[in-house]
Amino acid sequence: MKKKNSSLQSAMKAVMIMGLMGLFACQSDKLVPLVYEVENTGAGYAVPVMPTVADLPVIHELPDALEGVGDFSDWSRRRSEIAAMIQHYGIGQKPAVNKEEQVKARMDADTLIVDVTVGGETLTLRSNIRYPKEGVAPFPLMIGTSGISLPRQMFDSIPLATMVYHERQVNSYSQWRRSGKQRGEYEFDRLYPHLKENGAYSQWAWGLSRLIDGLQLLGPEVTRIDTRHIGVTGCSYAGKMALFCGAFDERVALTIAQEPGGGGAAAWRVSHTMKDVESLERTDYNWFMESMRDNFKGDSVYRLPYDHHELCAMVCPRALLLLGNPDYKWLADSAMQVSAEAAHKVWERFGVGDRMAWDIVGGHPHCQLHESQYPIVKSFIERFLMSE
């Protein structure tokens, strides 16, 4: 039997009805961008000084994602502060790239090829684009991190292109297939040897951004892709990946993180209070900096100056949909719900609360969308990728 988070039923029903009827538009919605043409609108802000762990205050409640924010004009600065904290204490630096000078792109039939050169070293990314059989180019694009777990028929019925981001081209770590390499020995590390302590999620987010660089450089005449309508999705560890990719690149219009578990949308502070779930101490540390576990294990988690509701909030004002499955306790979906509710307040502050939603439904295997979730997923895709 399907199990649905009852506290979300009325909210989700309202969101789905509005999405299907096209009644989302409001005056404030028109004033807040749906997507940006640059990777990071906060690139011009100075990186704030990061306190040592010993100097960080103990914060038992979730930190205030809107600290210092008066109106929307303050958000880019605040978002850049959150991004800096997540990189410094959690995943490592996502280095900036000058796409005009360091990135070259070309198409080989339907395959996008992107070469990124840093310090005399070149990393090459290749991804095949699957174009729809009907419709008129340029097409919106859904990128799957390591694959697309959403039902194929969801894409076959609409003029939407799809592409898989093969993250192993950047960092070949896998939970299931050992590459023979370890931290500091991946493709990314050839370009950035000083960032060998990075976790995979900063490296993988960097790689997806380089694919978007390539699409922008070539333009729609060559790629047949509309770069103002790019989505990213993934499930499980790739759901985390999709969330980090969408959070750290403002050119992504829609992020759908499917069953991302701990280290994704779930708040570390909340999962710390739970048993048998993926918590800060019980996650895969190839994904994060080892120093995060050293610095914030046990009750030291309350010194972490951010939490993952703020990772989710980094997607704002763009669209975010979180999908959960409470049948798998390890995913810590109750911690994701707390995080989602806290993050949603950021979208609400700017009058675009309908751009973010979450749906937690049981009764189906891991990474296989429940049929009851089809309408909300389809409505988000249609609104944020298919609309003008």
Q: What gap in Å lies between CA 311 and CA 315, rounded to an integer?
A: 8
Each domain of the chain, given as residue ranges in start order, spans 6-386
- For the residues 185-190, what does the mean pLDDT come to? 96
The overall longest dimension of the chain from CA atoms, in Å, is: 59
pLDDT grade, residue 376 (50/70/90)?
A: very high
In CATH terms, the superfamily for domain 6-386 is Alpha/Beta hydrolase fold, catalytic domain (3.40.50.1820)
Task: Say if residue 55's pLDDT is above 90.
Answer: yes
Name which of 266, 323, 380 is nearest 8 in CA terms: 323
Q: What gap in Å lies between CA 171 and CA 281, rounded to an integer?
A: 22
Q: Residue 180: what pLDDT?
A: 72
Task: Say if residue 95's pLDDT is above 70.
Answer: yes
- For the residues 322-332, what does the mean pLDDT come to? 98
Helical spans, DSSP H, in 192-254: 200-218, 220-223, 237-247
Task: Say if residue 93's pLDDT is above 50.
Answer: yes
Q: What gap in Å lies between CA 355 and CA 374, rounded to an integer?
A: 17
This prediction has a pTM of 0.93
pLDDT grade, residue 262 (50/70/90)?
A: very high
- For the residues 113-120, what does the mean pLDDT come to? 97
Task: Say if residue 326's pLDDT is above 90.
Answer: yes
Phi then psi for 10, rounded to 5 degrees?
-65, -40
Residues annotated as part of the active site = 236, 366
Q: Residue 15: what pLDDT?
A: 38
When mean pLDDT is compared across 16-25, 32-41, 88-97, the lowest value belongs to 16-25
pLDDT grade, residue 286 (50/70/90)?
A: very high
| Tokens found for residue 18 | 């509005």
